[in-house]
Amino acid sequence: MLTTLRQIVLEFSQNSELNNALGCMVNHVKKALKTDCCSIYLADYQQQHFLLMASDGLAKTSLGQTCVGFSEGLVGLVGQREEPLNIANAQAHQEYIHAPEVQEDDFNAFLGTPIIHQRKVIGILSIQQKESRFFTQNDEAFLVTLSAQLAGVLASAEIKSLLDHQQNNTQKLAQLQGIAGAPGIALSTIFVCQPQADLAAVSLKKSSDAKRQLLRFEQAVDKTRQDFENLSNKLSNLIDSDSLAIFDVYKQLLDQANLGQEVTEKIVQGWRADSALKLVIEHYIKQFEAIDDSYLQERASDIRDLGTRLLVNLQQQAKEELSLPEQFILLAQDVTASMVAQYQHQGLQGIISLSGSNNSHAAILARSLGLPAIMGVNSAVLSQLHQQQTIIDGYSGELFINPSESLRNEYKYLLSQEKALTDKVLKAVSLPSITRDGRAIELQLNAGLSAGFEHSAQLGALGIGLYRTEIPFMNRHCFPSELEQTQLYRKVLQVFPTHGVTMRTLDVGGDKSLPYFPINEENPFLGWRGIRITLDHPEIFLVQIRAMLRANQGLNNLEIMLPMISSIEEVDESIRLINQAFFELKSELKTDIKADLAKVSSTINPDSADAKAELISAQLTRPKIGIMLEVPSVIFQMEALAKRVDFFSVGSNDLTQYLLAVDRNNSQVANLYDAFHPAVLNALNSIARQADKYLTPISLCGELASEPAGAILLLAMGYDKLSMNGHNVPRIKWVIRHVEFEQTQLILAHVLTLDTTKQVHSYLNEQLESLGLGSFIRAGF
């Protein structure tokens, strides 16, 4: 049963043409369940009906013609109820509608299951039988499982088919829905950044130039053969000859008589070289995996390895043919923060990521750069979108492929409104961040994700509330040295010489990885992350702290912040290491100064050398140390924590994720991630109350601070500082300057009585409107 299911889904996803795929699928299901008819209907939400797309059993002439309204017939009933419907005698059912054109008069039994993708019914799969009887529990289980497995693949296949039609000039606008990742609008050309050699991510495509595709494949085979040759030469002294033999096996597999011939045949049938490779390799993997022999099953991984190596070489050619357009929207399966950083000065206008969510670091970086981003588009149409003209709406998460002139004009108008809002708020940039009734709240900058934040000082921020040090660690091949880090941190500290600069120690793990320090975990956000890694690797932590301390010498505006703290022991151990670095550095500095003085003059009095060394080394000061409050456990230990540290800063991005148990990076559950959830707001309020009680300064540096309604609530809760991306500092300052503290406290008091996130949003929207801040609703939510 499982194998049949797997096979049906695999075949479906490998079929490049939707109608064909549906046709094969119904045929296969009919045979597998030994029934008389299998049909599939797809939902058309514009027309509010299900269209019969494929059937093995109903009249062929009705395919693509017969429609069933969403509230009509048995098919409509399955859609409405969103559950399977198993009927022995369909024609006797009160909802049955007689449709002569489908020729189903002979069928009595009916079993229909909805195909549901992201809570939306996208189709109905049904089987019918002449004999009047209920279908078995096994039939029902099979159909339900198949429908669930098909849902995602079918949703992608539908979009792909829509885009195919569009490429054939059938004027139908393709509109995709993702998650609003960063506000803003961009109209530009898509540039697809293909993942490095992932056979699963290759979308099947045909080519009209078989000759060229054959040449590409031959070149890739030659290059791969050469790679094996080099590898086996390199390893010949290091591993035994038995192990080396694997390269000979690989080379044989590449031969025309083996895999090579099959790929060539597929290319001759019209497939692109990478598609042909995918089809052949996946076929072999499936066959090996199905064999009941662990040795042979293992060979599947050899085949995958070989396929991947070939794909690397095929993609290398394709890459060489690609060049970046002057302006573009970046699209990738998984846009990472480092990709955004890489392309930010090369004409990047916006971001589309097929995976990820609105609190992925790529989205946070996009917000800080003022770039619109759409995350979690959840569709496998990567290469098809390359070079397409597109509008992305980072407010709603919509993206429009090849939009009409009128839609473009509409969006151009919205862009002009957005610009007017920016111009308006920029007028408040140099004014203090103070409410109408005189309550001040400091606004600081979140930096580190992007270079060039130096200009942010002009955006009215007073210092840096969060410098994410991990980002400069990302675009490299190894950990930066103490000297490199010192130079970098000094530059950052110098941007705000008269204000505090809070540097967070390395916070990798989760969705931030370093290419030279791979971490592979099932559950990365609950795993080895932030302070857990650096305490396990004091050599990395100490070098970073020493670099920060050195950079701070003479400037004295550094504050050190520890991420992902979940226990008192972590704080004690971190402080112990910071003290160690501080005292070691101080003593090294004194020794160096005395040595330098001795070099200059051999007659210098030792006492005065000591005094001088003491004086200069006094410039090395011990900075304030604070922690991020982002793991819920710390909310219950604030008294003990307050005794140990100088300040708290709430990381609301992670605190929301951990309080709600929603992975911030998972598009599947993005609708559940919301910092306006009553539980999160109550936690934030409790933190502010406790910080006040234990006399510890409190700030918040998560994304909530850059939302107008968020800033209003945090102000009312009593937060001393808010830290946000440079782009939002002027907006939030404008908001703060247009409210009264007393009013915000009334709003907060009411919000804390609400039960649901929905109620919180609608109440806050109303309040923003009545405060005359309605134009921020689009930009804020």
Residue 410 CA, chain-centre distance (Å), reads: 29
User: What CA–CA distance (Å, rounded) separates 606 from 520?
Assistant: 55
Which value, to the nearest 10 degrees, does the dihedral of the CA atoms of residues 659, 662, 664, 670 take? -130
Region near ligand PEP per CB under 6 A, out of 217-225, 581-589, 652-660, 670-678: 652-660
Q: Which of 49, 361, 677, 727 is catalytic?
A: 361
Whole-angstrom CA distances from 403 to 171, 172, 328, 377, 559 are: 10, 10, 16, 18, 49
Strand-pairing partners, residue 296, are none
d(CA 393, CA 497) in angstroms, rounded, equals 38
Residue 665: both structure tokens together: 């990076």
Residue whose Cβ sits closest to ligand PEP: 651
Give Cα 729 distance to the centre of its chain. 24
Q: Say which residues have a Cβ less than 8 Å from residue 605's Cβ, sequence separation at least 6.
A: none
Decide if 717 contacts 748 (C-beta within 8 A).
yes
Taking CB under 6 A as the binding criterion, the range among 45-53, 594-602, 645-653, 668-676 that sits at the site for ligand PEP is 645-653
Provide the 10 A C-beta neighbour count for residue 494: 13
Q: Provide the minimum distance between the beta carbon of 510 and Mg ion in the complex, in angstroms, as a whole number.
A: 8
**Residue 730 contacts Mg ion per CB under 5 A:** no
Q: How far is CA 159 from CA 18, 43, 98, in A?
A: 10, 13, 32
Nearest to residue 55, comparing CAs of 83, 87, 19?
A: 19
Tell me the closest approach of the beta carbon of residue 563 to Mg ion, in angstroms. 6
With respect to Mg ion, which residue has the nearer C-beta, 368 or 384?
368
- What single string gives the DSSP state of each residue in 732-777? HHHHHHTS-HHHHHHHHHHHTT--SHHHHHHHHHHHHHHTT-THHH
Q: Does 653 participate in binding ligand PEP (rule CB under 6 A)?
A: yes
CA–CA gap between residue 445 and residue 45 (Å, rounded): 44
Radius of gyration of the chain (CA): 31
Site map (CB under 6 A) of ligand PEP, residues 114-153, x = contact: ----------------------------------------
Least separation in angstroms between residue 528's CB and ligand PEP is: 15
Task: Tell me which of 112, 702, 726, 730 binds ligand PEP, using CB under 6 A.
Answer: 702
Q: Shortest distance, CB of residue 652 to ligand PEP, whole angstroms?
A: 5
Q: Whole-angstrom Cα distance, residue 600 to residue 585? A: 22
Q: Looking at 701, 727, 738, 761, which residue is catalytic?
A: 701
Residue 390 near residue 684 (C-beta atoms within 8 A): no
CA distance 708 to 664: 21
Which residue, 197 or 362, has its beta carbon nearer to ligand PEP? 362
Which is nearer to Mg ion, 403 or 563 (by Cβ)?
563
Report how far residue 433's alpha carbon sits from residue 107's, in angstroms, rounded to the nearest whole number.
Answer: 74
Least distance between ligand PEP and beta carbon 358 (Å): 12
Residue 468 in the binding site for ligand PEP (CB under 6 A): yes
Where in 346-405 is the site for ligand PEP (CB under 6 A)? 364
Cβ proximity to ligand PEP, 117 vs 727, nearer residue: 727
From ligand PEP, Mg ion, none, interface partner of 128 (C-beta below 5 to 8 A by class): none
Q: In this structure, are residues 492 and 458 in contact, taking their beta carbons and an 8 Å threshold?
A: no
Q: Are 333 and 355 in contact (CB under 8 A)?
A: yes
Decide if residue 630 touches ligand PEP (CB under 6 A).
yes
Q: Which stretch binds Mg ion (CB under 5 A): 63-71, 238-246, 309-317, 625-633?
A: 625-633
Closest CB 104 distance from ligand PEP, rounded Å: 56
Pick one of ligand PEP, Mg ion, none as the site partner of residue 593 (Cβ within 5 to 8 A by kind): none
Does residue 654 bind ligand PEP (CB under 6 A)? yes
CB of 465 to ligand PEP, least distance (A): 9
Q: Which does 711 bind (CB under 5 to 8 A by kind): ligand PEP, Mg ion, none?
A: none
372 sits near Mg ion (criterion: CB under 5 A): no
701 near ligand PEP (CB under 6 A) = yes
Among the listed residues 372, 509, 651, 780, the single contact to ligand PEP using CB under 6 A? 651
Contacts with 417 (C-beta within 8 Å, 6 or more apart), sequence order = none
CB 330 within 8 A of CB 191: yes
Q: Which is nearer to ligand PEP, 393 or 511 (CB)?
A: 511
How far is it between the farthest Cα atoms of the chain? 114
Beta bridge partners of 86: 111
Tell me the C-alpha distance between 518 and 532, whole Å.
15
**Binding to ligand PEP, residues 86-105 (CB under 6 A):** none
Sign of CA dihedral 654, 656, 660, 662: negative
Our finding on whether 651 is near Mg ion (CB under 5 A) is yes
Report the partner that residue 264 touches, choosing among ligand PEP, Mg ion, none (CB closer than 5 to 8 A by kind): none
In angstroms, what is the minimal distance from the CB of 504 to ligand PEP?
8
CA distance 721 to 23: 61
Q: Is 361 a catalytic residue?
A: yes
Q: Please say which residue, 468 or 721, places its beta carbon nearer to ligand PEP.
A: 468
Q: Which residue, 275 or 358, has its beta carbon nearer to ligand PEP?
A: 358
Q: Write down the least CB distance from residue 664 to ligand PEP, Å.
A: 8
Number of residues that bind ligand PEP (CB under 6 A): 11
Query: Would you call 677 a catalytic residue per the annotation?
Result: no
Choosing from 654, 663, 707, 720, the residue that interacts with Mg ion (CB under 5 A) is: 654
User: Which positions are catalytic?
Assistant: 361, 701
| Interface residues toward ligand PEP, by CB under 6 A | 364, 466, 468, 507, 630, 651-654, 701-702
- Which residues of this chain interact with Mg ion, rule CB under 5 A? 630, 651, 654
